[in-house]
Chain A
Amino acid sequence: MNNPAVEIHGVGRIYKIRGSKNEKKTRKELVALQDVNLEVRQGELFGLLGPNGAGKTTLIKILTTLLAPTSGWARVAGFDVAKEPGKVRPRINMVSGGESSGYGLLTVRENLWMFSQFYGMPSKESYERIDALLGLVGLEDRMHTKSSDLSTGLRQKMNIVRGFMTDPNVLFLDEPTLGLDVGASRDVRRLIRGWLEQDKTRTLLLTTHYMAEADELCDRVAIINQGRVLACDTPSALKQRIQHDALFEITVASMNGLATSALENLPGVRKVTRREDGGFAALEFELVEEAALSGVINQLTSADVKVVKFDKHEPTLEDVFVELVGRSIDEVEEAEPDAKE
């Protein structure tokens, strides 16, 4: 079995915050992470999901050797991030979304080439890789543009290329699609998937507060809030945790005199709710198990009821978050706007 790409054991981080001018001598403690235990397998796309201020970025900073943990330890690519940062760094890279870093007086290509030199890449190889990656994110026609002349979104794309360009063992993406438009976000997600498919030893850890992004991309997700990991599993397993019943919605043209009580009395059907939907009847079924669906279909068919639309309702990661925290991500962010990320 391969060694884990990332191991996090009991990691905690406390920031000491200086008081205001009137309370200079007081130092407040802000707990950003508490006893975090996680393991990311090699080849995995692992997501840290949580609201702003949950501690996601703090954890990324620790894993990328920028910040020392207050307690616990973490290893990346087999090396301790606090004790062996020099061994971790050649094996990782990191991109933070929502910022416009880079040397504005250099062109896109020059910026990327310069960073490739710090990683010891031969120039010819780095130019080939830069050009290919710029093409993948739709930035090839701007490669000779000074990065100061790029929009924030295009600069972010340049930085995303910087992260992939060095072909790290473990890549950390901190909110990579933050501030990007829909098309650009799609390009980035495609790049992420393609990069991982090329080599099964590559590992990617991304943070996001976009539930759909985590659901779509990640093999496993850790839900984090107020510095604690609340749950960690595959998106489908997380959703199954809160799905106690099978939920279906069947829209029919007309009930043809079929009563909802007749459907409710079928074996395995817990509840049927009917509502009108633009001249059609939308029937919501709560089933004890999915197998009960065949009886429902048979009943509708025998009553000559024409089915217009059929939907299976699955819980989302947002539902999982609400179940775990008691509030939605938006509500948490509104309630704790100053939390340390």
Chain B
Amino acid sequence: MNNSETLRSFRTATWLGWQIESNWTDPFLFAVYSIIKPLAGAAILVVMYSVITKGNFDTPIFPYLYFGNAFYIYVGAIMTGVSWAVIDDREHYKTLKYMYIAPIHIPAYWLGRGVARFLTGSFSVIITIAFGVIFLHVPLDLATVNWPLFILSLILGVAMLCMMGLILASITLLVAHHFFLIGEAVAGALYLFSGAIFPLDVLPAWIRPVGFVMPITYWLELMRRSMVSSVSQAFPTLQRFSDLQLAGILVGLTVVFAVIAYFLFRWCDFRAREEGLIDRVTNY
């Protein structure tokens, strides 16, 4: 792999992604997308929680689901941001074939295109958490946050989500435009199985293994622990693992997903060129 090629692909794609993502001609739409949408999602959960627990916000389950839901914004943002570039370039801008024949590193290009979504996603996460702390009394003391663990977890999580995004982007090469929601769809499906809003113990036993092989499960646990360490002590699912063990599992699964992403990209790239799919337009 040529490092300068990879770097310039990533850098220029980041610039392009930001130009596209920040091109909000209507600030109201931007507010809806980046602020109101995540807050509305959080509010639904809070209302449901309030009804079920009869307004008991003092149990550990409340911060568990609130932080899980907030950080889960990254899952949709990054996976969709990376994989959406394929559909966007192929169907909308009709530039995918020109990107393909340029001397660029295609996965680095896709990752670069996802950076802007990561940044707008971060904005949504911060807004959601701030709203919870200020108005819903979600327990968070910035002085007690384990910042090293938070930063390490965030970096590992972003890397892991990027690999999952690359897997989806590779698949997107082979599918038609009406699969454009593949990123959102996968993120939605994993929402149930990754312990985002309730511990895996709540799920039927036969479905729990799905959650245990998903790196998102361990990442969300690490993020929660870094913010409010007491939360993790309340649920047995991952209680037996130390922070270091969880980070190790997350790294291991990220490497596995990276290997899958590498070989899947090569295969999908091969198939796309075999079948002449790179410049097809299905968005009639």
Q: How far is the CA of A41 from the CA of B4 in the complex (A)?
A: 32
Residue A310 lies at the interface, judged by CB distance under 8 Å to chain B: no
- Residues on A with C-beta less than 8 A from B95 are 101-103
Q: For the complex, is B123 an interface residue (Cβ under 8 Å from A)?
A: no
B19, B99, B278: the one contacting A106 at CB < 8 Å is B19
Q: Assess whether A105 is in contact with B12, with CB atoms less than 8 Å apart.
A: no
Q: Which of A90, A92, A93, A117 contacts B12 (CB 8 A)?
A: A117
Task: Enumerate chain B residues within 8 angstroms of A94, measured Cβ to Cβ.
Answer: 97-98, 101
Residue from B4, B11, B20, B93 in contact with A101 in the complex, judged by beta carbons closer than 8 Å: B93
Instruction: Tell me which residues across on chain B come within 8 A of A90, comparing CB atoms.
Output: 103
Instruction: Please name the residue on chain B nearest to A103 by beta carbon.
Output: B93
Residue of A nearest to B5 (CB): A120
CB distance B19 to A103 under 8 Å? Answer: yes
B142 interface residue (CB < 8 Å to A): no
Bound CA–CA A268/B240 (angstroms): 106
Number of A-B contacts (CB under 8 A): 77
Do A66 and B100 have beta carbons less than 8 Å apart? Answer: yes
Mask, B19-42, CB within 8 Å of A = 1, is 110010000000000000000000
A66 in contact with B101 (CB, 8 Å): yes
Query: Which residues does chain A contribute within 8 Å of B15, judged by CB atoms?
Result: 114, 117
Determine whether A308 belongs to the interface, using a CB cutoff of 8 Å to chain B: no
Q: Cβ of B275: which chain A residues have Cβ within 8 Å of it?
A: 16
A114 contact set on B, CB distance < 8 A: 12, 15-16
Interface mask (B253-284 → A, CB under 8 Å = 1, otherwise 0): 00000000000000000100111101100000
Choose from A15, A64, A89, A92 the contact partner of B276 (Cβ within 8 Å): A15
Contact bitstring B68-98, A, C-beta under 8 A = 1, else 0: 0000000000000000000000000111011
Q: Is B9 an interface residue (CB 8 A)?
A: yes
Instruction: Decide yes or no whether B208 CB sits under 8 A from chain A.
Output: no
Q: Say whether, besides A66-B278, A68-B273, A114-B16, A119 and B103 are in contact (CB < 8 Å).
A: yes
Query: Cβ of B93 and Cβ of A162 under 8 Å apart?
Result: no
Q: B102 at the A/B interface (Cβ < 8 Å)?
A: yes
Which of A94, A99, A104, A118 has most B Cβ within 10 Å? A118
Whether B16 contacts A115 by the Cβ 8 Å rule is no
**Residue B104 CB within 8 A of the other chain:** yes
Interface size on B, residues (CB 8 A): 29
User: A115: which of B4, B5, B100, B102 is its contact (CB, 8 Å)?
Assistant: B102
Q: A93 CA to B97 CA in the complex, in Å?
A: 11
Report whether A105 and B23 are in contact in the complex, using a CB–CB cutoff of 8 Å: yes
Q: How far is the CB of A336 from chain B (nearest CB, A)?
A: 19
A105–B23 Cα gap in the complex (Å)?
A: 8
A94: min CB distance to chain B, Å: 6
A258 on interface, CB distance cutoff 8 Å:
no
Which one of A61, A100, A120 lies within 8 Å of B4 (CB-CB)?
A: A120
B94 contacts A115, CB within 8 Å? Answer: no
Max count, chain A CB within 10 A of own CB: residue among B5, B8, B101, B278: B101
Which of A67, A100, A103 sits near B273, CB closer than 8 Å? A67
Contacts of B11 in A (CB 8 A): 117
Is A251's CB within 8 Å of the partner chain B? no
B20 with A119: CB separation less than 8 A = no
User: What distance in Å separates the Cβ of B167 from its nearest Cβ neighbour in chain A?
Assistant: 22
Asked if A67 and B276 sit within 8 Å, CB to CB, the answer is yes
Q: Which residue of chain A has the shortest Cβ distance to B105 in the bound complex? A: A86
Interface residue? A65 (CB, 8 A): yes
Q: A118 vs B97: C-alpha distance in the bound complex, in angstroms? A: 13
Chain A residues near B276 (CB-CB < 8 A): 15, 61, 66-67
Tell me the complex Cα distance, A86–B273, Å.
14
Contact B102 A119 (CB under 8 A): yes
A115 touches B98 (CB 8 A): yes
Known: A94-B98, A118-B12. A102 touches B93 (CB 8 A): yes
Inter-chain CA distance A89–B146, complex, in Å, is 47
List A residues 77-130 near B (Cβ within 8 Å). Answer: 86, 89-90, 92-94, 96, 99-106, 110, 114-115, 117-120
Query: B20 contacts A105, CB within 8 Å?
Result: yes
CB distance from A169 to the nearest CB of B (A): 12
From the candidates A15, A67, A118, A120, name the one contacting B99 in the complex (CB within 8 A): A118
List, in ascending order, chain A residues with CB within 8 A of B93's CB: 101-104
Q: List 18 A-B contacts (CB under 8 A).
A: A61-B279, A89-B101, A89-B103, A94-B98, A101-B93, A101-B94, A102-B93, A104-B93, A105-B19, A105-B20, A114-B12, A117-B12, A117-B15, A118-B9, A118-B99, A119-B102, A119-B103, A120-B103
Residues of A in contact with B (beta carbons under 8 Å apart): 15-16, 61, 64-68, 86, 89-90, 92-94, 96, 99-106, 110, 114-115, 117-120, 162
The 5 A-B pairs at the shortest CB distance, nearest first, are namely A101-B94, A90-B103, A117-B12, A118-B102, A89-B103
Instruction: Please report B residues at the A interface, Cβ cutoff 8 Å.
Output: 4-5, 8-9, 11-12, 15-16, 19-20, 23, 93-95, 97-104, 270, 273-276, 278-279
Besides A103-B93, A106-B16, 15 more A-B contacts (Cβ < 8 Å) are A16-B275, A66-B97, A66-B278, A89-B103, A92-B101, A101-B98, A102-B94, A103-B19, A103-B20, A105-B20, A105-B23, A115-B98, A117-B15, A118-B99, A118-B104
